[in-house]
């Protein structure tokens, strides 16, 4: 007989540890991208979408950059002309002053009677002459076109200049009528006069065909010439000029200081003439005369050029500021008008920096286009002025290369605030509008 098998209870099964299931892979979202190519295309699309507004917006930058280029170009172009003018006028002019009364209270006039001839013998001297202002007695009256009448028919406040013939030639006058008096008139002490154009107009003298005369005090002088312009001593245009010898015969020698000699020289001879003139005039007392040589023309040129550059660059800066304000204003208005577009872009994944770069690119494109047009207009202005004045146009390549960049920087700076405003617009709020 089989015994029943005893079944022992099975030990409880240990639950199998299943390996942990791998977590669901996180969904990776590609960040939105806004490449430089997209940025440029969007910028030009925004500019060309409203061409009339873009043109008016860039006008300020065009004026500013154009003024900048024109100023620097015209300054460089006129530098050679300023050099030439200083070489021909200032650098060839020597003035000798009579300081005899300062050295010796009992000394007579410092200039001898033949002062013109003594100085003109020096090498390098072209013209030389003595001139001074005649001190008239107030009771005798001034300059009149009639022998009587007081102030009526006269030129009140008109100076009477006693000048030798060499002094008149030294100022390089331009005559409208008549002629200058010469050594014959001076030697014969004739009573002739040359009028400045302003004085002739005030006295009513328009022609010399009738042989008009002017009365200085009670003395009549025949008008033989009318001067329209002078290259030196422009105050002579407001004066009546008479021979020095005639003035000394009528009113006596000058009683006070103020007598000067004007000397014109060849280029490069002025310094030497200034050293020799006092000794040639007064070998006994050269200290009675003080020669004033011309200043360095390079210093004068640099000073004038610097003043011109500073003045016109300030004007160019003002134009650029006006252009920047115009770009900023128009860009800000565009931000408000395109709020819906900005919200749609943000909803589709555009980031704040993408909106910022887009509007900065648009304002920069406006500034760059304005800079290019302004550079072209400024260069054409320089060339046009040079052609009209028969000059050689000078425009530095650095100026042409820098000017468009200046417009670009102006546009970018003007678009900073509008771009910042555009980047802060929330998508939900923008789509509600």
Both 220 and 137 in a single domain?
A: yes
Both 234 and 363 in a single domain?
A: no
* 3-state class (DSSP) for residue 179: coil
Q: What is the pLDDT of residue 162?
A: 93
Both 373 and 239 in a single domain?
A: no
H helices within 197-296, ranges in order? 197-203, 244-251, 270-281
Residues 6 or more apart whose CB falls under 8 angstroms from that of 219 comprise: 191, 250
**Is 393 domain-assigned?**
yes
Both 276 and 132 in a single domain?
A: yes
Count the Cβ atoms, other than its own, within 10 Å of residue 79. Answer: 16
Q: Which class for 91: exposed (0-12), middle (13-18), buried (19 or more C-beta within 10 A)?
A: buried
**Is 192 domain-assigned?**
yes
**Is 32 domain-assigned?**
no
Place of tokens 């771009």: 419
Both 163 and 75 in a single domain?
A: no
Both 305 and 379 in a single domain?
A: yes
**Is 425 domain-assigned?**
yes
Across 185-199, b (16+ Cβ under 10 Å) vs e yields bbeeebbbbbbbbeb
CA dihedral 394, 398, 404, 409 (to 10 degrees): -140
Find the domain containing 383 and state its range: 37-85+299-432
H helices within 260-393, ranges in order? 270-281, 297-337, 339-347, 352-389
Rounded to 5 degrees, φ, ψ at 275 are -75, -35
**Is 15 domain-assigned?**
no
Q: Which class for 368: exposed (0-12), middle (13-18), buried (19 or more C-beta within 10 A)?
A: buried
Pairing outcome for strands 219-230 and 192-196: parallel
What is the total count of domains within the chain?
2
Q: Measured between alpha carbons, how far is 327 from 333 in angstroms, rounded to an integer? A: 10
Both 178 and 46 in a single domain?
A: no
**Is 13 domain-assigned?**
no
> 144 and 204 in contact (C-beta within 8 Å)?
no
CA dihedral 145, 149, 150, 153 (to 10 degrees): -40
Both 117 and 263 in a single domain?
A: yes
Closest CA relative to residue 328, chosen from 35, 60, 22: 60
Both 156 and 236 in a single domain?
A: yes
Both 81 and 112 in a single domain?
A: no
Q: Measured between alpha carbons, how far is 210 from 406 in angstroms, rounded to an integer? A: 64
Domain end, chosen from 243, 259, 284, is at 284
* 3-state class (DSSP) for residue 183: helix
Both 212 and 246 in a single domain?
A: yes
Both 57 and 112 in a single domain?
A: no
H helices within 255-296, ranges in order? 270-281
Per-residue pLDDT in tens (0 to 9) along the chain, 433 residues: 455 555 556 666 666 666 665 554 455 555 666 666 766 777 667 667 777 767 766 777 787 788 778 877 877 777 656 555 555 666 788 999 988 888 887 777 889 889 999 999 999 999 999 999 988 776 556 788 877 655 445 566 788 999 999 999 999 899 999 999 999 999 999 999 999 988 998 888 988 988 999 998 888 999 999 999 998 888 888 899 999 999 999 988 887 667 899 999 988 788 899 999 999 999 998 998 998 887 655 555 555 566 666 766 677 677 667 767 777 777 777 777 777 777 777 777 777 777 788 878 888 888 888 888 888 888 898 888 888 877 778 788 887 888 888 888 888 888 888 788 777 777 766 666 6
Closest CA relative to residue 400, chosen from 55, 62, 78, 73: 73
**Is 289 domain-assigned?**
no
**Is 260 domain-assigned?**
yes
Closest CA relative to residue 361, chosen from 425, 318, 418, 322: 418
């Amino acid at each position: 007989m089989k015994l029943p098998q005893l079944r022992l209870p099975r030990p409880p099964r240990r639950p199998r540890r299943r390996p942990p299931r791998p977590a669901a892979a996180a969904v990776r979202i590609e960040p939105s991208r806004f490449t430089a190519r997209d940025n440029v295309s969007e910028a030009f699309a925004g500019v060309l979408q409203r061409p009339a507004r873009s043109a008016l917006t860039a006008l300020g930058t065009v004026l500013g950059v154009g003024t900048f280029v024109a100023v620097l170009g015209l300054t460089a172009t006129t530098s050679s002309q300023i050099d030439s003018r200083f070489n021909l006028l200032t650098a060839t002019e020597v003035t000798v002053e009579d300081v005899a009364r300062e050295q010796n209270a009992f000394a007579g006039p410092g200039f001898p009677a033949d002062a013109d001839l003594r100085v003109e013998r020096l090498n390098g001297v072209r013209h030389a002459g003595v001139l001074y202002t005649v001190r008239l007695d107030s009771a005798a009256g001034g300059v009149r076109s009639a022998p009587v009448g007081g102030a009526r028919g006269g030129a009140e406040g008109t100076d009477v200049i006693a000048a030798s013939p060499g002094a008149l030639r030294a100022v390089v006058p331009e005559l409208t009528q008549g002629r200058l008096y010469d050594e014959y008139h001076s030697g014969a002490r004739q009573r002739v006069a040359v009028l400045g154009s302003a004085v002739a107009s005030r006295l009513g003298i328009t022609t010399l065909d009738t042989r008009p005369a002017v009365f200085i005090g009670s003395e009549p002088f025949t008008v033989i010439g009318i001067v329209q312009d002078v290259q030196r001593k422009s105050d002579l245009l407001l004066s009546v000029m008479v021979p020095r010898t005639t003035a000394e015969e009528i009113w006596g020698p000058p009683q006070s200081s103020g007598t000067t000699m004007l000397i014109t020289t060849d280029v490069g001879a002025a310094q030497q003439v200034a050293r020799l003139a006092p000794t040639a005039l007064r070998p006994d007392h050269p200290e009675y005369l003080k020669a004033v040589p011309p200043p360095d023309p390079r210093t004068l040129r640099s000073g004038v050029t610097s003043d011109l550059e500073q003045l016109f660059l300030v004007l160019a800066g003002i134009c650029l500021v006006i252009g920047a304000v115009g770009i900023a204003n128009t860009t800000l208005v565009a931000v408000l008008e395109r709020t819906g577009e900005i919200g749609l872009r943000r909803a589709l994944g555009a980031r704040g920096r993408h909106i910022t770069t887009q509007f900065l690119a648009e304002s920069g494109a406006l500034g760059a286009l304005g800079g290019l047009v302004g550079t072209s207009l400024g260069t054409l202005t320089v060339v046009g002025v040079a052609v009209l004045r028969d000059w050689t146009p000078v425009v530095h390549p650095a100026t042409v290369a820098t000017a468009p960049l200046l417009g670009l920087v102006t546009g970018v700076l003007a678009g900073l605030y509008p771009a910042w405003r555009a980047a802060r617009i929330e998508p939900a709020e923008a789509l509600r509008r």
